[in-house]
Chain A
Amino acid sequence: MTTGTTLARDNSPVNSIVALFKNNLRQYSMLIALIAIMAFFQVMTDGTLMKPVNLTNLVLQNSYIVIMAIGMLLVIVAGHIDLSVGSVAAFVGAVAAVLMVDYNVNFILVIIIGLVLGGVIGAAQGYWIAYQRIPSFIATLAGMLVFRGLTLAMLQGQSVGPFPTGFQRLSSGFLPDVFGHQSLHITSLVIGLVVSLAIVYLDWRGRRNQVKYGFEVSPLGLFVAKNVLITAVILYMSYLMASYKGLPNVLVVLFILIVAYAFFTNQTVSGRRIYAMGGNAKAAALSGINTKLLTFLTFVNMGMLAALGGLIIAARLNVATPKAGTGIELDVIAAAFIGGASATGGIGTVIGAVVGALVMGVMNNGMSIVGIGIDWQQAIKGLVLLFAVWFDVRSRMKS
C-alpha cells in the first residue's frame, strides 16, 4: 500500500518509474539482489541452476530454512531472538523417529505430536522470556544446549531410520497429476495459473479500494507491467517444475505458510501488535496490548515452525541423526536479517525473510554446483550477510 501512495504526484511515466525505484529501492533491493545472484550462478553453472531438476532440489533443500525463517522473522520483529531452533528441530525429529521406528506409531499422528511438542517447547522458552524476563538470547541459548543434549539422549548417539514412505513424502513427495500427461505435469501448470490469477485479482482489488477511498495510486501502466512480470515469473517457474516431477508437496506447504503469515503480519490486529511491541514495548503495553502473552505466543509459534522444519529435515534424510540441524539457527537468523529485519525489533517482512532465505539457498546450491568447498561457502555467506545488512543500514540512514 505504501508503494502506491508515496508516488505518482508526478505525471510523466519516466519520472514516476524513477520515483518508484527511489522510494522502493530498499524494499526491492534484496529481490533484485536475489535475481542478480540467480543470474550470476545461471551463467557460472552453464544453465544448471535453472534446470527443472535442480530447481526442484533447491526447493527441497531450503524449505525448512524458509519455514523457520518465517517464525524467526516474527520473533525478531517482536524484539527477540531464538537460538534454539536448530536443536528444537533435531529433538522433534528424533522424537518422531523413535515413535515411528521403535513404536510403530502412525506417521500422521507423529506429525501432529511433533507439532504439538514444538509448541510446548516454544511455550516453555516463551514462559521464561515473557513472564520471568530472562533475555531471549540467554533463554534460547540454554534451550539450544538443552535440546541438543536431549536429542543425543533420545537417539543414544545413533541414527534412527528409515521411515514409512508416507512420512518421507512430507519432504520428497510431489503433487499427484490428475491429468496423467506423459512429459508435462498439467496439475502443476494449472495451479501456477490459478495462483498468478489470484495475485493479479487481489492486487487489482486493493488498487480499486484505494481509489474508492481517494488515495493516490501508482500509474496504470506500472501496475500492469508489475503484474505481467509477476505472472510471467510464476508461470515460467511452474512450467519448469511441471517438466520434471511437478510441484513438490513441501512447496505447497511453504506457499500456504508464506501467504498465511504475510497476511497475518500485514492485515491482522495481532500482527500489527507484534510490530508495535517490537517498536516500543512500553508504549504498546500502555496502549492495552498484553505484551507478555504476545511474546509468549510468538515463541509458541516459533516452536511449532521449528518442529515442522525438524520433521521435514528428518523426512528428507530419511533418518534422524543427533547432528541434524546443527548450525541451522544461524542460517535462519541470517535469512531474516538479509531480508531487512531490524535487530532492534519492530521492522521486517515475511516476504523479506523468504527472499533472504532464498538468497542463502541459491548461494549454497550455486556454489556447490560450481564446486566451491564448504569452507569457502561459509566465508562467502558470512560476507554476504554483512554486506546485506550494511546496505540496509546505509539506505535507512539516507531516508
Chain B
Amino acid sequence: MSSVILEMRNITKTFPGVKALDDVNFSVQQGEIHALVGENGAGKSTLMKVLSGVYPHGTYTGEIYFQGELCQFKDISQSEKMGIVIIHQELALIPFLSIAENIFLGNEQAHRGIVNWNVTIAKTQELLKKVGLRESPNTLITDLGVGKQQLVEIAKALSKEVKLLILDEPTASLNETDSEALLELLLQFKQQGMTSILISHKLNEVNKVADSITILRDGATIETLDSRNDLVTEDRIIRGMVGRDLTHRYPPREAEIGEVIFEVQNWKVYHPIHPDRKVIDDVNIHVRKGEVVGIAGLMGSGRTELAMSVFGRAYGKNISGLVCKHGREIDTSSVHKAIANGLAYATEDRKNYGLVLIQPIKNNVTLANLEAVSGRAGVINKPKEMVVAKDYRTSLSIKSSSILQETVNLSGGNQQKVVLSKWLFSNPDILILDEPTRGIDVGAKYEIYTIINRLAEEGKGIIVISSELPEILGICDRIYVMNEGKIVGEMSAKEASQEKIMACIMQQQEVAQS
C-alpha cells in the first residue's frame, strides 16, 4: 500500500474579483504519476504555483502537507529545498550557456565562489545519462532541439534531488517521437520510486502514463479517477473537464468540394543560413475549393518552412517553383503581395509571430488589412475599425472585456481567435493554419474547428498543419504526409489512419538510412 506524499487541503486562492481556486483538495500518493487535467483557466497552474511557493503562504487559505509535514513556503527556493521541483511549459534555459552551466545555474558546484568545473561536468554527465541525453555537457542550449532542451530541464530538476517532479505541459512543443521518449522516461522514474505530477492537454498521453487523474473545473476539484483499477476513457475525462458530454470532438463537415483553386509546384527552398541545405525538396501540393487539407509530419519535417516560404518568402533562400491560384501563377514574392493575392498564414507561434501583444484586440484584427478601414490618403477611419473589431469579437466569441483589451491578457484560445480574426479580415481565398489549436483547451478547440468548417463552406481552401494526428484525421478531407522536406504520402481522410501516416514517415526514414 502506498502512502500519501502530498496532500493539499481546502486550498482557496482569490485574485481581485476572481476566485481562482475554490476549496480544492488534491492528494498524490508516493511513487505514482498523477495527472492534473482541466480546461485553460480551470486553475491547474494556480494550484501548482500555490504548491511551489510562487504564491507564498498567507496569500491563499488551506493547508499543504508534504511527506506528512505542514509546509508554509515563502518562495520557490523553500519548496525546492523540500524536493518539489516544477518544470514550466515555457522552458527557462539560457540559450547561450552550456548544458552543464544551465543545469547548475543557481546551484553552482563551487567552493568559496569559485566554480569547480570538473565536478560540474562530471555530475552533468551522470545526469544526462539518467535522462538518456547523449550530448556533451559543453553543448550550448541554443544548439539543441526543443525535445532535448526539455530533457535538460528534467536533468536540472534531478540535480536538485527531486522528490516530487511537476511537469507543466511538457510535450506541448514536442513531436511524437520526443513525446514518447519523455513519457517513457517518466515511467522509468516511477520505477525508481519518483513521484510526478503531469499537467497535460493531451489526453492520450495522460491515459498512457497516469496512475491517477484529478480533474479541475472552474477552480474546483471535480473528481479523481484511478486508472490503475478501472479503465478511464478519454471521453470520460473530457466529460469531467467540460461538465457535459462532448459527443463529437470534431464538428460535422458539410462543405462542398469544388475545383482546384491553389497549387504549389516543384517548390524548392534552401536554408537561410546554410545555403547548401535543401529544406524543402520539390514539393507539389494542391487545394480544392471548400477543402480542408492537412499536412502531417514530425516537427522539423519542413511543414512550417513550406508554409512560410510560400507565404511571401518569409522563410528560406533560393526559392524556386510555382504558386498558382485558379490555374494562374501568382506573385508571392513578399508577404504583402501574398496577402494581396489572397493568401493568409496563421503562425504556430502566436505570441512571437502572430500578435502585437501590447496592442488591443482592435489593432491586431485590422493589422493585415489596414487599407480596408482607411481612406485613400491612408487615414484610418477609427469608428469603422471599431465596428469591424466588434463584429469579429462577437462572431468568433472572443472572451474579453472589450475590443480595447490588450491581447497579452487574453487566454491562449482567445488569442488564437484574434489571430484568426486578423486573417479573416484580410479576406483570403487560401488560409494556411499552422498548429491552430496548440495549447488550447478542448472547448476552444471545438470552436476553432467550427470556424474552419465555416470557412470551408464559404468556399475557401484551407491547409491545416498539425502535430496532433487525431486532429488532422478529424478535420481534414485529404492529408499530405511530410518528412525531411518532402511529401512522402497523400491520402484521403477516409483511408487515412494514424498508423498509415506514421508508416509513411517511417518508411521514408528507413529509405534515407539505408
Contacts and interface: CB of A to CB of B under 8 A. Distances in A.
7 contacts: A5-B402, A5-B404, A269-B379, A275-B363, A286-B311, A287-B335, A288-B335
Contact of B345 (A212, A286, A346): A286
Contact of B358 (A270, A272, A288, A346): A346
A76 to B, nearest CB: 14
Given A6-B404, A213-B383, A268-B379, 8 more contacts: A213-B387, A267-B382, A276-B356, A279-B357, A279-B358, A279-B359, A288-B426, A290-B334
B177 interface: no
A285 interface: yes
Interface string A60-75: 0000000000000000
- Chain A: number of interface residues, binned into ranges: 20 to 34
Interface in A254-293: 267-270, 272-273, 275-276, 279-280, 282-290
A272 B379 CA distance: 10
Nearest to A285: B335
Interface string B74-94: 000000000000000000000
A270 to B, nearest CB: 6
B304 to A, nearest CB: 12
A326 interface: no
A287 B340 CA distance: 11
A347 interface: yes
Interface in A1-20: 1-2, 5-6
A210 B367 CA distance: 22
Interface in B320-344: 334-336, 338-340
Given A286-B335, A286-B347, A347 B353 contact: no
A107 B354 CA distance: 50
Given A269-B374, A287-B422, A282 B352 contact: yes
A215 interface: yes
A209 interface: yes
Interface of A: 1-2, 5-6, 209-210, 212-213, 215, 267-270, 272-273, 275-276, 279-280, 282-290, 346-347
Contacts of A209: 383
B355 interface: yes
Contact of B370 (A273, A279, A290): A273
Among A5, A269, A288, find the residue whose CB has the most chain B CB atoms closer than 10 A: A288
B387 A288 contact: no
Nearest to B353: A282
Contacts of A283: 352-356, 367
Contacts of B334: 288, 290
B158 interface: no
Interface in B274-333: 311-312, 314
B383 A288 contact: no
- Chain B: number of interface residues, binned into ranges: 35 or more
Interface string B393-420: 0000000001010000000000000000
B371 to A, nearest CB: 7
B394 to A, nearest CB: 13
B345 A2 contact: no
Given A285-B314, A286-B335, A286-B347, A272 B356 contact: no
Nearest to A270: B378
Contacts of B354: 283, 286
A319 B112 CA distance: 62
B314 A272 contact: no
Return the 4 tightest CB-CB contacts between A and B, nearest first. Answer: A279-B356, A287-B368, A288-B336, A213-B383
Contacts of A1: 382
A288 B378 contact: no
A213 B352 contact: no
Given A276-B363, A285-B314, A267 B379 contact: yes
Nearest to B335: A288
Among A5, A279, A286, find the residue whose CB has the most chain B CB atoms closer than 10 A: A286
A213 B353 CA distance: 32
B133 interface: no
A273 B356 CA distance: 11
Contact of B336 (A215, A268, A269, A290): A290
Contacts of A6: 404
B386 interface: yes
Contacts of A267: 379-380, 382
Interface string B441-484: 00000000000000000000000000000000000000000000
A347 B335 CA distance: 25
Contact of A280 (B314, B340, B357, B368): B357
B472 to A, nearest CB: 23
